[in-house]
Structure 1
Amino acid sequence: MALVGLNLRPALSSLAPLLARVQLELGLSAAAIGVLTTLPVLCLGLFAPAAPWLSRRIGIERTLSIALLLLAVALLLRAGEGLWPLFAGTAMAGAAIGIAGTVLPVLVKRELPRGADLVTGFYTMALCLGGALGAGLSIPLAEWLGSWQRSLGSWALPALVALVCWWAMMPQPIPRPGHQRHGIMGTGLLRSPLAWQVTLLMGCQSSMAYIVFGWLPTLLQRRDIGEAEAGVLLGASVFVQLFSALGAPWLARLGRDERPALLLLLALIGAGFYCLLLGPPVLRWPGVVALGLGQGGSFSLALTLLVLRSSTPAIAGQLSAMTQGIGYCLAALGPLLVGVLLHFEASIGGIWALLTGLVVAAMLLALLAGRNRHLDIDEQGRFITRQQQPV
């Protein structure tokens, strides 16, 4: 699962440092670049609900295999010349990541239910490492391989390696019937306040993350930071996420619920945005560290909530599909809005105000979604909310 997680961010983070080259070579407007950065996030949301449907028909393991194969094909397609391969490959990569990211929490809930929060932190750490590698190696690979297309396409190789390793070591090569309790499909999830709280928290957190993936280097370049240094700063921020992604579940265990940890991490995100976008140059690296710690930890806890707020793997699958489906569709609006603002020559201060608004909204949602509750199914097959029992 960690090896799979390693491949779920380079397709997104490797594009951001190269946006200036892509825009110059293909003659794209800021709005078109905004569409390009929004497209994979939108496909994440649109295709996440397909994961439970596929899992019920071919099994979770084979669903993940198909997602990895689609990801490798998408990355190879993106290495082609012209607009069509770039946009089509980016959309396919988002679809593959949406499917794979939806089934991973279900596997965690099924295989290691009692340590689900710590295991989620572990594969989230691998996911953040992949994002850091994508951002940090994007420019060097373009220089070494001779083009930005080859740099983007080179990430198909680790996806193929992950596919081979997953097929060889996955826990169940042949799908088996699950326990009857786990196979129950509830109704009325869209009417559950708790499900919406987790969904909207994921949407706000992911919107900030994909704005950073898609636009942080461009925003830093507007503050007279060079292309290479901007890519390094993004890579460093994503690399720092490794430590908080692994440590956040441990931090959350110190309290009665996840609210204090979530608020602390979201405050770090807000401080990081201020230092990078409005602060003096001396705060550049402290801002990178704060942003990385906040985003890595909050993303890890957001994924953990999908497991902790579910009483069975089947519920985890349905909640994961809703949260990542609707949440990522909402998150896609963030990069698109930033692209539109830049197209109309908005100031860095205006973009900072947008990001600060997202941080405040996420904090309010964290106060609700972080409470000690979980989703269950009553005798009539409807979703209900229960007080979480101590483990």
Structure 2
Amino acid sequence: MILVGLNLRPALSSLAPLLPRIESQAGLPVLAIGALTTLPVLCLGLFAPLAPWLSRRLGAERTLSLALLALTLGLALRGLAGPAGLFGGTLLVGAAIGVAGTLLPALVKRELAESADLMTGVYTMALCLGGALGAGLSIPLADGFGGWAASLMAWAGLSALALVAWAALMPSPGTLPPPPAPTGNTRALLHQPLAWQVMLFMGFQSSLAYIVFGWLPSLLVERGYDEATAGWMMGVSVLVQLFAALAAPWLARLGRDQRPALLLVLSLVGSGLWLLLLGPEDGRWAGVALLGLGQGGGFSLALTLIVLRTADSRLAGKLSGLVQGGGYTLAALGPLAVGVMLDRALSLAQITTALLAIVMAAAGFALLAGRNRRLETDPQGRLITR
């Protein structure tokens, strides 16, 4: 699971530092580049709801194998130096990550029910490490391998390794305990305000995350940093997410109410963005650290909420599909909006104001999703919030 998690972010974070080179060498306009940053996040949202459906028909283990195979093929296709390969591979990568990322919380809930929230922090830490590697190594790989296309294609090797390891070590469906009785359905979830609150929190905090993945290096270059420095600043910020991702579930366990933890990490995100884009240059590394701590904790807590707000693994899988499907679809608007703002030559101050508005929206839904509530079924089999 940890090795799989390591592969779910390099495909996204490795693209951002290379955007200036892709724009100049591939001849793509700014709006096309904006679409390129939006496409994988949109695919996360569109394909995440397919994960529970595929899991019922093929089994969670085989579905995850297929997702890793699609991820490997997409990464290889994306390295073909042309717009068709770049966009086609990015679409396949987004679809694969959408399915794999949705399956993981349900697998954790099933395999490690008593410590599912802490295991969520561990594999989220792997996600953050993968993101840091993708951001930090993109420019060196491009310089070493002779171009941005080879740099993007190189990550297919890590994905292939995860596929081989998962095929060898995944649980055997024949040895698994019987699945729990069906609990609720996706349509019933749509009538539960708690499901919407968790989904919208996921959407707004993920929007900030994918804006950082897609545009932070470009925004830093806009401020005056060179592209290598901007890439490393983003890489260090994502690396810092490791510590917050592991610590956040422990912080959430201090009480049954997760609102204080959620508001803390969002305040760190807002402070980090302000320091990096508008604050004094001497405070840039403090901004890098604050942004990393906030985003690592925010994403880990968002996934932890899926586990804490459901009574069993089947319901966790359905909520995961709804939350990540709807949340990532909403999140896709963030990178697209930043691309439009850059195309219209808005100032860094205006862009930063828009980002802080997203932080405030996420905080509003954190106050609702962080309350001590849980989705479960009553004796009559009806889905309720208790």
State whether TM-score is above 0.5: yes
- How far did residue 253 of structure 1 move? 1.6
Report Cα offsets for 1:312-342 as digits up to 9, x if no partner: 1111011000000010000000000000011
Q: Does the 8 Å CA contact 1:45/1:328 hold for their aligned counterparts?
A: yes
Q: Does the 8 Å CA contact 2:210/2:331 hold for their aligned counterparts?
A: yes
Return the alpha-carbon distance in structure 2 between the equivalents of residues 28 and 338 of structure 1: 17
The DSSP-based 3-state class of the residue aligned with 1:178 is coil
Gaps of 5+ in 2: none
- The residue identity in structure 2 corresponding to 1:144 is G
Alignment partner, residue 142 of structure 1: 142
- How far did residue 185 of structure 1 move? 3.9
The DSSP-based 3-state class of the residue aligned with 2:190 is helix
Alignment partner, residue 14 of structure 2: 14
Q: Does the 8 Å CA contact 1:49/1:322 hold for their aligned counterparts?
A: yes
Q: Does the 8 Å CA contact 2:272/2:288 hold for their aligned counterparts?
A: yes
Q: Does the 8 Å CA contact 1:134/1:235 hold for their aligned counterparts?
A: yes
Aligned length: 385
The DSSP-based 3-state class of the residue aligned with 2:376 is strand
Return the alpha-carbon distance in structure 1 between the equivalents of residues 53 and 80 of structure 2: 32
Alignment partner, residue 184 of structure 1: 183
- The residue identity in structure 2 corresponding to 1:345 is A
Gaps of 5+ in 1: 387-391
Return the alpha-carbon distance in structure 2 between the equivalents of residues 243 and 251 of structure 1: 12
Return the alpha-carbon distance in structure 2 between the equivalents of residues 260 and 172 of structure 1: 40
| Alignment TM-score, normalising by the size of structure 2 | 0.98
Alignment partner, residue 264 of structure 1: 264
- How far did residue 174 of structure 1 move? 4.6
Alignment partner, residue 75 of structure 2: 75
Return the alpha-carbon distance in structure 2 between the equivalents of residues 146 and 180 of structure 1: 52
- How far did residue 176 of structure 1 move? 5.4
CA separation of 1:75 and 1:371: change in aligned 2, threshold 3 A: same
Return the alpha-carbon distance in structure 2 between the equivalents of residues 173 and 229 of structure 1: 47
Return the alpha-carbon distance in structure 1 between the equivalents of residues 355 and 174 of structure 2: 45
| Alignment TM-score, normalising by the size of structure 1 | 0.97
The percent identity for this pair of structures is 64
Alignment partner, residue 48 of structure 1: 48
Alignment partner, residue 111 of structure 1: 111
Q: Does the 8 Å CA contact 2:183/2:376 hold for their aligned counterparts?
A: no
Alignment partner, residue 244 of structure 1: 244
Return the alpha-carbon distance in structure 2 between the equivalents of residues 78 and 345 of structure 1: 29
Q: Does the 8 Å CA contact 2:59/2:173 hold for their aligned counterparts?
A: no
Return the alpha-carbon distance in structure 2 between the equivalents of residues 231 and 383 of structure 1: 46
- The residue identity in structure 2 corresponding to 1:13 is S
Q: What RMSD in Å do the two structures reach over aligned CA positions? A: 1.1
Counting only pairs closer than 5 Å after superposition, residues 1-391 of structure 1 correspond to structure 2 as 1-174=1-174, 178-181=178-181, 183-186=182-185, 187-386=187-386
- The residue identity in structure 2 corresponding to 1:250 is W
The DSSP-based 3-state class of the residue aligned with 1:222 is helix
- How far did residue 30 of structure 1 move? 1.3
CA separation of 1:217 and 1:177: change in aligned 2, threshold 3 A: same
The DSSP-based 3-state class of the residue aligned with 2:371 is coil
- How far did residue 31 of structure 1 move? 1.1
Return the alpha-carbon distance in structure 2 between the equivalents of residues 174 and 210 of structure 1: 38
CA separation of 1:56 and 1:317: change in aligned 2, threshold 3 A: same
Report Cα offsets for 1:113-135 as digits up to 9, x if no partner: 11111000000000000000000
Q: Does the 8 Å CA contact 1:239/1:292 hold for their aligned counterparts?
A: yes
- How far did residue 178 of structure 1 move? 3.1
Return the alpha-carbon distance in structure 1 between the equivalents of residues 53 and 380 of structure 2: 22
Return the alpha-carbon distance in structure 1 between the equivalents of residues 271 and 85 of structure 2: 38
Alignment partner, residue 389 of structure 1: none
